[in-house]
Amino acid sequence: MRAESDRTHLAAAFAAAAATWPTALCAITDATMTPLQRALQVSWCGGAPQAFEFLGHCPACWSGATAFLLAAALTLTAPIPQRLRVAA
């Protein structure tokens, strides 16, 4: 029973990471930008190539969230070895 509980907690942690990944990645990206990069990003005429975005997030946001969700799904569906199972 403990292995199943640990597996559920780990999958929940991966799902939480998937939910926070786009926001965290955007915050890190914004924090590491120079003032010129920030100005070019929000300027009307551009200056920097505009990245493709879907629902306000770039492909790196979505691929990271997908990777965490995939890890959660694999964690939940992985078989538990017999040696880790505890008789209920």
Tell me: the pLDDT tens digits for 22-64? 888 888 888 898 888 877 776 655 444 566 666 767 777 788 8
How far apart (Å, rounded) are the C-alpha atoms in residues 33 and 48? Answer: 13
Tell me: the pLDDT tens digits for 6-19? 888 888 888 998 88
How far apart (Å, rounded) are the C-alpha atoms in residues 19 and 14? Answer: 9
Tell me how many degrees the CA angle 27-33-39 measures, rounded to the nearest 5.
105
- If you ran DSSP here, which 8-state letter would residue 80 be given? P
Domain boundaries defined on the chain: 2-42+55-79
